[in-house]
């Protein structure tokens, strides 16, 4: 892409006012309070850089990126929204809940530093919910906050003996897999071992910054980007790729740093990052994927996260899992689940988030599938909240196919 075209996309100069983004925006469909991507993104950003004003309804954008995918001109609409939101919070105070929703990594570190920290935090969250404390802070009182696993992924990893190999990848667990669903990272490590890879971790990585970007802490997110990009480039120099099992983390590391902050090194680092099944598909293309699968008799309903769709590599999890004897995979094909990171955790966005997810909930509720799979942790939480079904990550099914 030429430099001039690149800049135009991030400054909205290529917007044709066709309104495709508006008809694809799930939040706009769910509430009339949101004026929609074209007005708050391209149109407003043109004015915003020349005058001091703010579009109130910008607060409704969940950064699901459906608009970006719909735009025939390639305008980075959601990025414009996040940049404007970040600009606003440089001069305006955050709500109390924003601090909490954007900094899950800090809370996780605190919990892990205390004896019985996970158990105490889980109990505290239960009591807090029943007393309505979260509601008072501006967090949706009907939701459960994600509970902490008794052992973090990093702690499990320290005690796990791997077969060493010259073929190596670095695993980026992200906050949610490390603290809340370590079983996803464990499954990833076991899958890679079955493929002759040794998995490394790098605890100098920070949270990818996605919760900060969507909550308007853009400067902090940039600091995280600088640290993570430096780490990725160090691994790149050694010829070792970085892989994530959460599609919001992989999207942030691969693309959003470059889109938001525009530094060349961010694009360079992004090229060394892969989502887990994207990497497994590349291995398969090279004839390197171990396909000695055991039978797994399961019909799966697959909710493809918005942030996976945005990465544009199709649905390799479906393709690979369909090679496992006994497995069938049906796409839910029901749009956004509505949670969009921390969007659905905000009390004033809760009803919208549930309305957006209603089609998916219905699809799952009437489905005869044995399991629901999804590559994003917060989508899995939303599906669980909206249907009572507990989904898993597709990598967990693949681990089963390897007898793990
Ligand atoms: S990112 Fe999602 S919520 Fe935000 S404007 Fe685009 S489609 Fe709408
Ligand atoms: S889809 Fe793209 S070109 Fe069309 S109105 Fe939205 S931003 Fe502009």
Q: Please give the full DSSP string across 100-164, using - where no structure is assigned.
A: HHH-HHHHHHHHHHSTTHHHHHHHHHHHHHHTTHHHHHTB-TTSPPPPPPSS-HHHHHHTPPPPP
Ligand 1 atom at minimum distance from 40 CA: 5
Q: Does domain 290-401 have CATH number 3.40.50?
A: yes
Q: Which secondary structure element, helix H or strand E, spans residue 186, and what is its range? A: helix 182-194
What spacing in Å lies between the alpha carbon of 286 and ligand 2's midpoint?
38
What spacing in Å lies between the alpha carbon of 342 and ligand 1's midpoint?
14
What's the rounded mean pLDDT across residues 76-98?
Answer: 89
pLDDT of 1: 46
Q: What is the DSSP string of 53-77?
A: ---GGGGG-----HHHHH-TT---H
pLDDT in tens, 323-350: 999 999 999 999 999 999 899 999 999 9
pLDDT of 171: 98
Are 375 and 394 a contacting pair, CB within 8 Å?
yes
| Whole-Å CA distances, 209 to 111, 114, 203, 206, 320 | 19, 24, 15, 8, 30
Are 67 and 24 a contacting pair, CB within 8 Å?
yes
- Candidate from 1-15, 247-261, 316-330, 342-356 with smallest mean pLDDT: 1-15
Band (pLDDT 50/70/90 cuts) for residue 52 is low
What spacing in Å lies between the alpha carbon of 46 and ligand 2's midpoint?
13
Strand runs labelled E in 187-239: 198-201
Ligand 2 atom at minimum distance from 18 CA: 4
By most ligand atoms within 8 Å of CB, the mutation choice from 21, 24, 65 for ligand 2 is 21
Are 307 and 251 a contacting pair, CB within 8 Å?
yes
CB atoms within 10 A of CB 93: 7
- Candidate from 13-17, 79-83, 160-164 with smallest mean pLDDT: 13-17
Can you name the CATH fold of 153-283?
Glutathione S-transferase Yfyf (Class Pi); Chain A, domain 2 (1.20.1050)
What spacing in Å lies between the alpha carbon of 303 and ligand 2's midpoint?
26
pLDDT in tens, 133-191: 988 999 999 999 999 999 999 999 999 999 999 999 999 999 999 999 999 999 999 99
Per the DSSP assignment, residues forming a β-bridge with 241 are none
Domain segments of the chain as ranges: 3-91, 96-137, 153-283, 290-401
What spacing in Å lies between the alpha carbon of 353 and ligand 2's midpoint?
23
What spacing in Å lies between the alpha carbon of 61 and ligand 1's midpoint?
5
What's the rounded mean pLDDT across residues 204-211?
Answer: 97
With 90 as the cut, is the pLDDT of residue 23 above it?
yes
- What CA–CA distance (Å, rounded) separates 107 from 111? 6
Are 191 and 81 a contacting pair, CB within 8 Å?
no
Report whether residue 99 contacts ligand 2, using a CB cutoff of 6 Å.
no
By most ligand atoms within 8 Å of CB, the mutation choice from 33, 39, 65, 260 for ligand 1 is 65
What spacing in Å lies between the alpha carbon of 48 and ligand 2's midpoint?
17
With 90 as the cut, is the pLDDT of residue 46 above it?
no
Cα 130 to the center of its chain, rounded Å: 28
Of the two residues 171 and 37, the one the predictor is more confident about is 171
- What CA–CA distance (Å, rounded) separates 312 from 322? 20
SS (H, E, C) 342-390: CHHHECCCHHHHHHHHHHHHHHHHHCCCCEEECCCHHHHHHHHHHHCCC
With 50 as the cut, is the pLDDT of residue 257 above it?
yes
Residues in the chain: 404
Q: Which secondary structure element, helix H or strand E, spans residue 118, and what is its range? A: helix 117-130
Ligand 1 atom at minimum distance from 28 CA: 8
Band (pLDDT 50/70/90 cuts) for residue 47 is low
In this structure, the residue with its CA closest to atom 8 of ligand 2 is 15
When the pLDDT of each residue in the chain is averaged and rounded to a whole number, the result is 93
Q: For the domain bounded by 3-91, which CATH number is listed? A: 1.10.1060.10
Ligand 1: which residues within 6 Å by Cβ? 25, 27-28, 37, 61-67, 77-78, 81
pLDDT in tens, 271-286: 999 999 999 999 999 9
In this structure, the residue with its CA closest to atom 4 of ligand 1 is 61
User: Which backbone phi and psi does 361 adopt, to 5 degrees?
Assistant: -60, -45
């Amino acid at each position: 892409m030429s430099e001039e075209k690149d800049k135009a996309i991030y400054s909205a100069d290529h917007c044709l006012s066709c309104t495709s983004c508006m008809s694809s925006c799930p939040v706009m469909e769910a509430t009339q309070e949101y004026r929609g991507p074209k007005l708050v993104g391209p149109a407003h950003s043109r004015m915003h850089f020349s005058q001091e004003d703010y579009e109130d309804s910008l607060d409704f954008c969940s950064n699901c990126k459906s608009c970006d995918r719909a735009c025939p001109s390639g305008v980075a609409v959601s990025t414009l929204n996040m940049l404007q939101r970040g600009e606003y919070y440089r001069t305006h105070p955050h709500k109390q809940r924003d601090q909490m929703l954007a900094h899950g990594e800090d809370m996780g570190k605190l919990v892990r530093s205390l004896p019985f920290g996970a158990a105490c935090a889980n109990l505290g969250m239960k009591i807090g919910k029943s007393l309505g404390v979260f509601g008072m802070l501006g967090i949706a009182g009907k939701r459960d906050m994600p509970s902490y696993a008794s052992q973090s992924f990093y702690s499990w990893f320290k005690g796990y003996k791997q077969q060493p190999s010259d073929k190596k990848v670095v695993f980026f667990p992200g906050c949610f897999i490390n603290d809340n669903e370590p079983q996803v990272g464990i499954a990833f490590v076991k899958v890679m071992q079955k493929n002759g890879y040794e998995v490394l971790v790098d605890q100098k990585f920070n949270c990818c910054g996605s919760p900060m970007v969507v909550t308007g802490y853009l400067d902090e997110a940039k600091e995280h980007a600088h640290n993570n990009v430096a780490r990725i480039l160090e691994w790149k120099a050694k010829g070792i790729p970085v892989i994530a099992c959460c599609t919001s983390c992989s999207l942030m590391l691969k693309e959003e740093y470059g889109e938001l902050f525009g530094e060349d090194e961010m694009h360079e680092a992004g090229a060394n990052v892969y989502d887990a099944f994207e990497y497994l598909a590349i291995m398969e293309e090279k004839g390197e994927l171990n396909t000695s699968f055991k039978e797994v008799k399961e019909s799966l309903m697959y909710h493809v996260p918005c942030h996976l769709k945005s990465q544009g590599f199709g649905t390799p999890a479906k393709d690979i899992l369909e090679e496992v004897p006994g497995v069938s995979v049906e796409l839910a094909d029901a749009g956004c689940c509505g949670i969009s990171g921390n969007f659905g955790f905000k009390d004033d966005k809760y009803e919208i988030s549930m309305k957006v997810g209603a089609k998916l909930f219905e699809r799952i509720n009437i489905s005869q599938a044995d399991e629901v799979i999804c590559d994003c942790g917060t989508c899995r939480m939303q599906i669980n909240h909206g249907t009572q079904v507990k989904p898993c990550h597709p990598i967990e099914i693949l681990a089963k196919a390897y007898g793990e």
